[in-house]
Amino acid sequence: MSYSYNPASSEFNLLCKSQIKLLTQGLGALWSAVYLTEESVVTRETKLFPFAIYPQTESELTLKLPGIELPEIWQKVNSESISQPSFLLPDKLTGDSLSNVRQKRGNLGNKPRIFPLIYENTVMGLLIVARENRNWEETELKQAENIATTLAIASFMERQSQWYRKQLALQQEANRWGKDSVDDLLHQLRNPLTALKTFSKLLIKRLLPEDRNQSLATSILRESDRLSELLQQFEAEISQSSTTPVTLSTTSVRLADTETNERNNFLLPDSKKDLESVALKEILEPLLLSAEAIASEKKIELVVNLENNLPPVKGNPQALREVFNNLIDNAIKYTPEQGIVELETRVKDGLVGVAIQDTGYGIPTQEQPQIFERHYRGIQAEGDIPGSGLGLAIAKDLIQQMQGNIELISPNNLAKNSNFPGTTFIVWLPQI
């Protein structure tokens, strides 16, 4: 990782100046130099670059000075022959101002003192101080060490701040690119979706009420409306996210709305807030019309056994459609040709259950504890059946919000074939 201290923040500049002022006024320093490390990405050799120098006539020159390796500067500072900072700084920086200091304070007869700037076992730089030819008192050394510690901590915070700023800039650029891509995608989706809705409405008008294709056309329109609703929600969320303020301090970056631990499923219904009395048959029958067409295309038999006098349950209609759509879709998707998908209802102990059973590949016992985790697909990820591993996680989350639960049974032996052990999911909801 590479860090650049040029230009540094105004706060860090002010701090360095205040600490050098303490050295000058409190400890009688005739000249001081603050060197900061910069790690090279290529060679990994630590070099030091001058950051603050006193006395100094042209501060901008420090931005152009070359770096010096740590062993070299350490050797020079500890050399007995060193009595002025010209070995570290070009003549243009030290000539006039150092001459003025000599005239006022006399010759520098004592070699400079070096104080490492160390924080969390990392050398952040060096503080080099020279003063009149007199010994350092213990209290003076302690004060200089405290100044070095302050500069080390400030240097670390400055380094962190610059890294965060760089990462924030990269993130903002990535977000801009991502938002542009999403905007393009949404724009391209609108036209075919509008056409799909128009075609389905035309089919409904032209088909006779008794035509079995009437229900398919109605299902197409219903799903098209659902897609339109999702697009509108997504566009609203994207628009809100693009105006979310970002706060950047000198030590950390905080994105607004990240203080809460709750995940914002803006595309999913908030079933915790809108629970009502729901007739499950009204939820399931439209979904089964679409499922029947898909199963027939795949040569799978769809068997439906819904009780006529099924008691209503406490739930959210939109959330329940999402749950059963995912479970029925999975059952058909993971059942091979000539298989069976069976849906039936059950009532037990004040609960109403909807069981979706299949004669598919089953779920290995060792994978069942993880099957409801987001993006987990287990052994299915190795096959050629597409999926994101989100359907079951979404279903479980929504059902738990409605005070229900999902029971998993695999194998279910519905097919009586060891090669296809089958899977059963039972959604249990409290009846009213």
Q: How far is CA 62 from CA 3, 162, 312, 396, 430, in A?
A: 16, 19, 78, 61, 74
Tell me where in the chain the CATH 3.30.450.40 domain(s) lie.
10-168
Say if residues 125 and 115 touch (Cβ distance below 8 Å): no
Q: Kind and range of the H or E element at 37? A: strand 29-39
Burial of 38 (0-12, 13-18, 19+ CB in 10 A): middle
Say if residues 92 and 58 touch (Cβ distance below 8 Å): yes
pLDDT at 56: 65
Mean pLDDT of 65-79: 55
Q: How far is CA 316 from the centre of its chain?
A: 30
Mean pLDDT of 151-157: 91
pLDDT of residue 1 exceeding 80, the answer is no
**How far, in Å, CA of 50 to CA of 41, rounded?**
19
Tell me where in the chain the CATH 3.30.565.10 domain(s) lie.
271-432
**How far, in Å, CA of 163 to CA of 155, rounded?**
12
pLDDT at 213: 82
**How far, in Å, CA of 19 to CA of 150, rounded?**
8
pLDDT at 328: 95
Q: What backbone phi and psi angles, to 5 degrees, belong to 421?
A: -65, -20
pLDDT at 43: 46
pLDDT at 303: 95
| Higher pLDDT pick, 27 / 235 | 27
What's domain 271-432's superfamily in CATH?
Histidine kinase-like ATPase, C-terminal domain (3.30.565.10)
| Higher pLDDT pick, 261 / 413 | 413
Q: Which two tokens stand for residue 94?
A: 């030290």
Question: CATH for 10-168?
Answer: 3.30.450.40
Q: Kind and range of the H or E element at 99? A: helix 91-105
pLDDT at 71: 56
Q: Which two tokens stand for residue 85?
A: 């900072």
Q: Pairing state of beta strands 46-54 and 68-69?
A: antiparallel
Q: What is the pLDDT of residues 124-142, one digit of tens each?
A: 888 988 887 777 888 988 9
Q: What is the pLDDT of residues 243-300, one digit of tens each?
A: 655 554 444 444 444 444 444 555 566 656 678 999 999 999 989 988 988 899 899 9
Q: Pairing state of beta strands 113-119 and 68-69?
A: unpaired
Mean pLDDT of 159-181: 83
E strand map for 87-174: 113-119, 122-131
**How far, in Å, CA of 176 to CA of 180, rounded?**
6
Helix (H, G, I), strand (E, B) or coil at 390: coil
Q: Which among 39, 38, 29 is positioned nearest to 98, based on CA atoms?
A: 29
Q: Which two tokens stand for residue 329?
A: 């879709």
In the block, tokens 């006022």 appear at: 104
Say if residues 346 and 355 touch (Cβ distance below 8 Å): yes
- Work out the pLDDT band at 76, boundaries 50, 70, 90: low
Q: Whole-structure pTM over 0.75, yes or no?
A: no
Mean pLDDT of the chain: 78
pLDDT of residue 353 exceeding 90, the answer is yes
Q: Kind and range of the H or E element at 394? A: helix 391-401
Q: What is the pLDDT of residues 307-344, one digit of tens each?
A: 988 999 999 998 999 899 999 999 999 999 999 999 99
